[in-house]
Chains A and B, each alone.
Chain A
Amino acid sequence: MTTMTDPPKASFQLSMLIYDTRYRSYTFQFIALVLLMLLLGYLGANLVNNLAAQGQNISFGFLSSPANYDINQRPIEYDSQSSHLRAAMVGVLNTLIVAVLGCATATVFGVTAGVLRLSPNWLVRKLMAFYVEIFRNIPVLIWILIIFTVMTAVLPSPNQFRGDGADASMFMDAFAFTNRGVYVPAPVWGPGSLVVVLTFLASIIGVFAYRRYATKLLYDTGRLLPMGWPSLVILFVPTILIYFVLGQPISLNYPALKGFNFDGGLHIRGSLIALWFALAIYTGAFIAENVRAGIQAVSKGQTEAAASLGLRPNRIMNLVILPQALRVIIPPLISQYLNLTKNSSLAIAVGYMDVTGTLGGITLNQTGRAIECVLLLMLFYLTISLAISAIMNVYNNSIKLKER
């Protein structure tokens, strides 16, 4: 029997590189690597040749030279003498602004529509289905352009607010809807406003602490404390008290017509609104579908089991359905956020100065550094995507069913 256990030791032959599964994978990988190297080398050589032929080079020196152009929406200090790098930073921040606003709004739209799609009310259900289908099946670029057109072509220009018999008037004397954007009152932070803000933040922590305490009490003693109104009291009463005690340090600056434009207040530009709402409504339609699918994914038995335990309908939703549905909803939700962030690059169609508009737009045009600009642009989006994917992975791992 011992002779049978020793396999014959074959000497290595060249043909084994193809026919022997032990070596074949090495052959393939080697070939793939060589092909990849050849391809990259070919592209690289072409790049070098082309650049040499046109007498150009790859250099990022232009980033530190003055940008020489102005940007309308500046979250950070910027003027035409700032560097291209700073212009790119302004763009990055503008991208993040519209992405965050868009994601928040899209979630609100999406969750509302998704829940209402399962409503017992036939009309509401159909309306929501209509919303979802209409927005999902028409390109987001068209939505952006449509909302932008609404902003510029339908709303009145600031000029129409002028005079006594003006065609347009401000809403509650505080909000002006013009075709250059919406002007809303802006808070003015007087001395002591920091205290108010800190109080408010502390109140938020207080609410959480109270809820934790209430839950603990419920589990320990079975006594159920009311959750709703005490939370509201904790949230608002101290802040309001401090606000008046300190003599109203935070006031509002109302927009008013001055010169060519409205002055004062917060100016939310038409391009931002168009991009923000178009992205939010469009992505919201997708989120609605995710939410609906997530809720439907929880089997009916769960609802029935919870009901047979004597839970009331809203508690069934909060304690049984939602926690299970969220497990299904959140991963696609995050990838929708990612899509929204990437779609925000369509800002260029309405002249919103996001990073595609500054770095990939004006800077690229004015310096002619196409390769460098596009490379940086891609790197930026790639970083964001990878960061969000990383967060998603962590989350997915944390909610993974702990199975024995």
Chain B
Amino acid sequence: MGRDQLAFVRKHMLPEAPPPATQTGAVKWLRENLFSSPGNALLTIVSAYVVFQIIVSTAPWFINGVWESPSLTACREILEGKMGGCFAVLTERWNQLLFGFKYPSELYWRPGLAFLLLFIAAAPVLFGKVFPRKMLIFTGLYPFIAYWLIWGGSLLVPVFALLGVLVGAFVYSRMVTVNAGIAVIVAFVAALVFWILSGYVTAPMENVMAIEAVASRDMGGFMINLMLGVVCVSLSLPLGILLALGRQSSMPIIKWICVVFIEFIRGVPLITLLFVANVVLAYFLPPGTNFDLILRVIIMITMFSSAYIAEVIRGGLAALPRGQYEAADSLGLDYAQAMQLIILPQALKISIPGIVNVAVGLFKDTTLVSVISMFDIVGMIRGPILASSEWNGVYWELFGFACVLFFITCYGISQYSQWLERQLRTDHR
């Protein structure tokens, strides 16, 4: 075949054609992400159908929802047999769900304010780069402010508690040059002595600069969950660090005390520890003392979470290269300095995502207190609200509300943890 037999030879380049329709835009995306193979297409169709069914069957429940009605029967009359949620229970009882049924309603602003301040206090810790370091002072003051706002009573009590901490810190800074371990013990004793002495001052001055006091028995609802979560996590952090260091210690007795404590706490369910708080702890306290239940629960949950946090931090300590320890030693730093300046800052940084996970888990576990007849949000739902003759039978609206609250909080925290993880990862590059 000769060259001249060819009918047509293109002499110049064609302009670039746009990619075929199936390879661009939404179609391409659909093809790649939803219908890449017959199996995938089937999967897509099945899941789309399931989603569609769920939406169709629950939509009227939301759309027909009744937001104002004094009771379930009234609500059902309004609905006239249509499917719909009685969200009126939330508008009627929101205060009980959030604050419990005995917290004085005119004082709701106090825990509310404490809750808002929590964000300001937490911000410099969570987003250290964005907020000025000076805000950490407020973070340090926050526990005392929050205590005063929530429980009320004399301002002197939190002030003296704070002074006690300051006394302890002062003593520590003076003693630390001698020996860190001794300094911790002496500082603790000093703070304790200060608190005992200040007890004699605050007790007779109950009404000095006092706002209305609220007994912890009167608290309930989601407030309890938040309080327990925040208090126990913050208390268990220092404890957890100590336990982790103790477990890594070369001193066998200290190591074994920590190991036994950690393994014991991690080996039993939280609910048995709550039983202890509820029914057994009183036997181990001197006759005549009687903590209220919230405090006993705080003690047990703090012990519980400190064991878990200790394990997370231990992981962080173990992940540090051996060289860091040796470098610290070679600089001639003693144990306390090495830990404070070299090891812990790095180890804690590695452990933060783990700690946040423990915190989220712990926050969810605070619902367990409903089992020992405390009226947290689950306790409120199962107890007073579902038992009342007006709202007997409103399950989904109430459980849904609790789910939403927990989801927002926990999802928020875990998103933060993932963000932080990414931040930390880039730091190492």
Instruction: List residues of chain A with CB under 8 Å of any chain B CB.
Output: 18-19, 24-25, 28-29, 31-33, 36, 43, 46-47, 49-51, 53, 119-124, 127, 133-134, 136-142, 145-146, 149, 153, 342-343, 345-346, 348-349, 356, 360, 364, 370-371, 374, 377-378, 381-382, 384-386, 389
Please name 24 pairs of A and B residues whose Cβ atoms are closer than 8 Å in the assembled complex, sorted by A: A24-B179, A32-B257, A46-B283, A121-B34, A122-B33, A122-B34, A123-B34, A123-B43, A123-B51, A134-B407, A136-B410, A137-B360, A137-B364, A137-B407, A141-B370, A146-B403, A153-B393, A345-B269, A346-B368, A348-B271, A360-B275, A377-B275, A382-B267, A389-B263
Question: Is B395 touching A138 in the complex (CB atoms < 8 A)?
Answer: no
Question: Is A121 touching B253 in the complex (CB atoms < 8 A)?
Answer: no
Of the candidates A29, A47, A49, A53, which one forms a contact with B253 in the assembled complex, judged by CB atoms under 8 Å apart? Answer: A29
- Bound complex: CA A370 to CA B43 (Å): 54
B interface: dominant SS: helix
- CB-CB under 8 A from B284, the residues of chain A are 43, 46-47, 50
How close is B377's CB to chain A, nearest CB, in angstroms? 9
Question: Is B40 touching A121 in the complex (CB atoms < 8 A)?
Answer: yes
Question: Is A29 touching B371 in the complex (CB atoms < 8 A)?
Answer: no
How close is A275's CB to chain B, nearest CB, in angstroms? 13
- CB-CB under 8 A from B378, the residues of chain A are 139, 141-142, 145
- Bound complex: CA A348 to CA B263 (Å): 24
Question: Is B275 touching A49 in the complex (CB atoms < 8 A)?
Answer: no
Query: Known contacts being A18-B179, A43-B284, is A137 close to B406, with CB within 8 Å?
Result: yes
User: Closest B-chain residue to A150, C-beta based?
Assistant: B395
- Bound complex: CA A73 to CA B410 (Å): 36
Instruction: List residues of chain B with CB under 8 Å of any chain A CB.
Output: 32-34, 36, 40, 43-44, 47-48, 51, 178-179, 181-182, 185, 250-254, 257, 263-264, 266-272, 275-276, 279-280, 282-287, 360, 364-365, 367-368, 370-371, 378, 382, 393, 395, 399, 402-403, 406-407, 410-411, 414
A interface: dominant SS: helix
Query: Known contacts being A123-B47, A371-B280, is A345 close to B411, with CB within 8 Å?
Result: no
User: Closest A-chain residue to B413, C-beta based?
Assistant: A137
User: Closest A-chain residue to B41, C-beta based?
Assistant: A121
Question: Is A381 touching B267 in the complex (CB atoms < 8 A)?
Answer: yes
- CB-CB under 8 A from A345, the residues of chain B are 269, 271-272
User: Closest B-chain residue to A35, C-beta based?
Assistant: B185
Question: Is A137 touching B272 in the complex (CB atoms < 8 A)?
Answer: no
Question: Is A370 touching B267 in the complex (CB atoms < 8 A)?
Answer: no
- Bound complex: CA A142 to CA B250 (Å): 43
Question: Is A138 touching B179 in the complex (CB atoms < 8 A)?
Answer: no
Question: Is A124 touching B47 in the complex (CB atoms < 8 A)?
Answer: yes
Of the candidates B267, B279, B364, B382, which one forms a contact with A386 in the assembled complex, judged by CB atoms under 8 Å apart? Answer: B267
User: Closest B-chain residue to A140, C-beta based?
Assistant: B364
- CB-CB under 8 A from A385, the residues of chain B are 263, 266-268
How close is B118's CB to chain A, nearest CB, in angstroms? 19
Query: Known contacts being A142-B406, A356-B272, A382-B268, is A370 close to B279, with CB within 8 Å?
Result: yes
